[in-house]
Amino acid sequence: MKRTIFILATLLGIGNVLKTVAQNTKDITLGVSIKSFNINREGKYLTVKMNLDLNKLDVDANRAVLLTPRLVNGTDSLDLPAVGIYGRRRYYYYVRNGIGSISGESETIYRASSKPDSVAYNNLAEYEKWMDGATLKFHRSDWGCCHEIVAEYEGILGRHREAFFPELIFVQPKAEIMKSRSLSGSAYIDFPVDQTVIYPDYRRNTTELGKIQATIDSVRNDKDVTITSVWLKGFASPKSPYKHNTELAIGRTAALKKHIGQLYHFADSIIQTDYEPEDWAGLRRYVEQSNINYRTEILALIDSDMEPDAKEAKIKRTYPDEYRFMLQNFYPALRHTDYRIDYNIRKFNKVEEIKRIMAEQPQKLSLNEFYLVAGKYEPGTDEFTDVFETAVRMFPNDEIANLNAANAAIRRDDFATARRYLDKAGDSAEAVYARGALAIREKDYDTARRYLGKAKEMGLEKAALTLEELDERQK
């Protein structure tokens, strides 16, 4: 269908004579050459820029020549503002008859006797979807008397292709039946030698007990949270006989349970305990990270199948200096209690509430809740991107969180960030497709076809459609 010209007249600029002729001048139609041609999308507008070389354009006195750039895509077309060159008689004929120009008010008019050798053409047209893939033609029509066309010529300037932006697939995470979370840490509570009684003011105990209390308090006073368990595990060092260390680990863990129970009045079922008589795994980490002498030999003894008491005695006997160093620097840290606070968070269903929680306490949200609020923002906006960036900070190792954050980064052309997220997005069909979409945006079309082909084989229909579009655009 023939479209009516729609141009913002104030945006049309027809420049003055150019002083030089570009080396890449191209003959486009009879008497007219084009140089420095450019057609580009700029936001809401399609820009068409070119320099018209009119040196060889001859116009008879009784003729007028109309030069019209024309966008064409199938049945859709749009005539851009024309440049009219009028012979002397034809010019005065139009003046006498009150006809301003052949094509209308947007036309730029020159008399043949004073036409410039070169014209800078610059036009903005409001962009429409059909313009993607449109051919820009250059039409010349020669007009004689009685307002009739006596001859027509046409050349092709080029084709406009939008930058290929494949549709991105954001994956909705499964809704959690129960939002279960936990907080954990280690406390180093001091006990007098061979005792299992907690003295809150003894040595570092005020600080160490405070760590556990602060962790519990951080969730206990939250109306959105229900504590389900407080887990305690006590460890002793290998310094004393294994049997004795077992008794100490059990007794000291029980003492801590009693202490916490008195502070918070938890039901016995809430506070759960475990123990490790001797923290050999911890000792191994300290030795491995140190540069003490005979490190390799000591590690071999730690890893051996010897009974704990025999193992400790042999290290002490064989490497006395190193043993004394470990006793002083490593062993105190082996006497600790690991703790974990398990709790459930209520679900949030209202978008405005989720927005508030995301701003104040994003750790309370599930991935599905992040996804729900993201759907309320326009893709590509700062708000849309921030949702997925926040989600991946809360769930840094989750594949879906990384995939959606990668897609958000692709959407704003942050390719380096997208690649970083895609490294942790797994190998689902959607993740493979996203790698193909990123390759398209980076114009690495061979890589894009490889990934899209794989995603297609994995059953992703969108991959097949995107492959078809890529092939069409590459024709």
185 has pLDDT over 80: yes
CATH, domain 347-473, list 3.30.70.141, 2.60.40.10, 3.40.50.2300, 1.25.40.10:
1.25.40.10
25 pLDDT band (50/70/90 cuts)? low
pLDDT per residue as tens digits for the range 310-348: 999 999 999 999 999 999 999 988 988 999 999 999 999
pLDDT digits (tens, 9 = 90+) for 122-133: 999 999 989 988
Q: Residue 439 in contact with residue 410, Cβ under 8 Å? A: no
The rounded percent of the chain whose pLDDT value lies above 70 is: 95
The pair of structure tokens assigned to 408 is 């958000």
State how far the Cα of 398 lies from the Cα of 387, in Å rounded to an integer.
Answer: 15
Q: Please enumerate in sequence order all residues whose Cβ is within 8 A of that of 352, keeping only pairs 6 or more positions apart, or say none.
A: none
Q: How many CB atoms lie within 10 A of CB 374?
A: 23
**Percent over 90 (pLDDT), the chain:** 70
Weakest mean pLDDT among 5-19, 81-95, 376-390, 391-405: 5-19
Q: How far apart are CA 81 and CA 159, in angstroms?
A: 18
- The span from the CA of 209 to the CA of 211, in Å, is 5
Instruction: Pick the closest to residue 408 from 424, 386, 425 (CA basis).
Output: 386
Name the nearest CA neighbour of 354 among 175, 171, 190: 175
CATH architecture classification, 179-343: 2-Layer Sandwich (3.30)
pLDDT digits 0-9 by tens, 26-51: 888 899 999 888 888 887 889 999 99
